[in-house]
Structure 1
Amino acid sequence: MMATNVVGLIPAAGLGSRLSPIPCSKELFPVGFEPHPEHGEPHPKVVSQYLLEHMQRAGARQVYVILRKGKWDIPDYYGDGSQLGLQLAYLIMQRPYGSPYTLDQAYTFVRQQRVVFGFPDILFEPQNAFEQLLQKQEKTQADVVLGCFKVPNPQKWDMVELEENGEVKTIFPKPATSNLAYGWAIACWGPRFTEFMHSFLKGEEARLHTSGKEFSVGEVVQAAIHHGLLVLSVSFDEGSCLDVGTPEDLQKAIRTLS
């Protein structure tokens, strides 16, 4: 069952430095194939389309993509999104302090909505992952629900310590080593977390400006836990996720999907 009042939120302001140099924004790198809409022959499918299709299946009709200046190839490629059954809007990132600030650029537009969130260079399964997160949020009234996957390389992920009931106890951003099994890759959240993130980031901006540090989304979710917001999880033990932002994992994705 598709959820209502859901919008998608995608940060696409990164430099793609781990893959540099490449001839396009990393979000448009071809990974796999799909039938061409006109003649049906195999046609290259770009990596971010997988995330957009996940969001569309979950009931999001409006998706906000936040860019940095210069990444005009993304709106040029997707246009208004109608070919995917979506309404795409593009916003420009203003504050260079990490993904949460990129997401906060959409605050005015999403503050009353339920948000589904993912990174455009992470491929994941199952196909109904977002639906499962939204159903759990609706059932429990959690502020945030994280989609968690068993990952082999903890240093590449935000690892999560979970209670038996699925409540997220602690998030450890990209630890050098970890005994934890699950990293989080996708999320949904409600207006309470959007408001918390907006206020929290406002309070931290001066310090980040001085230090040059950047925040990750996981660090903001951890701050929300510390401030008493309810963060739950859905663990996809039979699912998979792959960050294609590095050459070796991009190669793995191309082999798998081609």
Structure 2
Amino acid sequence: MKASENIVGLIPAAGLGSRLSPIPCSKELLPIGFQVHPEHGEDHPKVVSQYLLEHMRRGGASQVYVILRKGKWDIPDYFGDGSQLNLHLAYLLMQRPHGCPYSIDQAYAFVKQSRVLFGFPNILFEPGNAFEQLLHKQKTTAADVVLGCFKVSSPHKWDMVKLQAGGIVKSIHHKPEHSDLAYAWAIACWGPRFTDFMHTYLQQQEVRLQSSGAELSIGEVVQAALNSGLLVQSVCFANGNCLDVGTPKDFRKAIKILS
């Protein structure tokens, strides 16, 4: 396999978890549901971020980079090197506090020649082969980015996606107060061209963000890529579902579904 064909996972885990605060651990380690543990048997608690790691493994990633902030040492202490999940896990520290894109850009030197699977550790989603479908769409369309899109009931919590025929993404609307759009994106895959674009774009935006104190979202970077002519495609999971468990209401809902 060529270096450009390597598949890696990329997970931002540098957030403070303020919507659920106070909690006794990093939000990525909140137990939701149960599993058969190889050492401890059945009905062992399963932490929320493990679902994403398993999705990435099914999608073909053997190496996953997790971006932390200082103090969140309970995450590497819990997952270790990833061997229990048949993964190789590596941990990097967030350096620039300007939003999620700057966190994952810490992995640039390690992922710049790879196909990247991206997801948020606090978002649960189905189907189980979602990343495989995204990678297939990228391969068949030569897209720079493919977004996995799901129907949501609260557009103001999500990046809503406006689509054209064939699944081409026309625009991304970051947490609109009101929206007639049906689909939000929750996962993504991309290739080296977008990784390079994001790395350069973030360098260009850093001075402005330092002076304003604002933060960028991944969706805003994808929109900038669209504006620059990169091809962004989508896979819409009309019969799938996704749930952001980062709020008390949805955390409680997830527990009911998976318990």
Normalising by structure 1, we get a TM-score of: 0.98
Offset of 1:40 from its aligned partner?
Answer: 2.5
Partner of 1:167 in structure 2? 168
Q: How does 1:189-228 map to 2 (within 5 A)?
A: 189-228=190-229
Offset of 1:164 from its aligned partner?
Answer: 1.6
Partner of 1:14 in structure 2? 15
Partner of 1:113 in structure 2? 114
Q: How does 1:12-51 map to 2 (within 5 A)?
A: 12-51=13-52
* Aligned Cα root-mean-square deviation (Å): 1.0
- Amino acid paired to 1:193: F
Offset of 1:41 from its aligned partner?
Answer: 2.2
Offset of 1:191 from its aligned partner?
Answer: 0.1
Offset of 1:37 from its aligned partner?
Answer: 1.4
The whole-number CA distance in structure 2 between the counterparts of 1:15 and 1:89 is: 20
Partner of 2:97 in structure 1? 96
- Amino acid paired to 1:203: Q
Offset of 1:38 from its aligned partner?
Answer: 2.7
Partner of 2:66 in structure 1? 65
- Provide, for residues 64-112 of structure 1, a one-character-per-residue CA deviation record: whole Å limited to 9, x for no partner: 0000000000000000000000000000000000000001000000000
- Amino acid paired to 2:134: L
- Provide, for residues 43-74 of structure 1, a one-character-per-residue CA deviation record: whole Å limited to 9, x for no partner: 00000000000000011000000000000000
The whole-number CA distance in structure 2 between the counterparts of 1:179 and 1:39 is: 47
Partner of 1:176 in structure 2? 177
- Amino acid paired to 1:185: A
Q: How does 1:75-154 map to 2 (within 5 A)?
A: 75-154=76-155
Partner of 2:255 in structure 1? 254
- Amino acid paired to 1:180: L
What is the aligned-residue identity percentage?
73
The whole-number CA distance in structure 2 between the counterparts of 1:23 and 1:64 is: 24
Offset of 1:246 from its aligned partner?
Answer: 0.3
- Amino acid paired to 1:104: D
The whole-number CA distance in structure 1 between the counterparts of 2:215 and 2:185 is: 19
Offset of 1:39 from its aligned partner?
Answer: 4.7
- Amino acid paired to 2:77: D
SS at match of 1:105: helix
The whole-number CA distance in structure 2 between the counterparts of 1:38 and 1:10 is: 26
- Amino acid paired to 2:87: L
- Amino acid paired to 1:123: L
- Amino acid paired to 1:75: P
Partner of 1:230 in structure 2? 231
Number of equivalenced pairs: 256
The whole-number CA distance in structure 2 between the counterparts of 1:39 and 1:84 is: 14
The whole-number CA distance in structure 2 between the counterparts of 1:232 and 1:157 is: 18
The whole-number CA distance in structure 1 between the counterparts of 2:212 and 2:156 is: 23
The whole-number CA distance in structure 2 between the counterparts of 1:188 and 1:52 is: 14
SS at match of 1:117: strand
Normalising by structure 2, we get a TM-score of: 0.98
The whole-number CA distance in structure 1 between the counterparts of 2:14 and 2:39 is: 31
User: 4+ residue stretches of structure 1 with deviation over 3 A?
Assistant: none
Where in structure 1 are there 5+ consecutive unaligned residues?
none
- Amino acid paired to 1:84: L
- Amino acid paired to 1:206: V
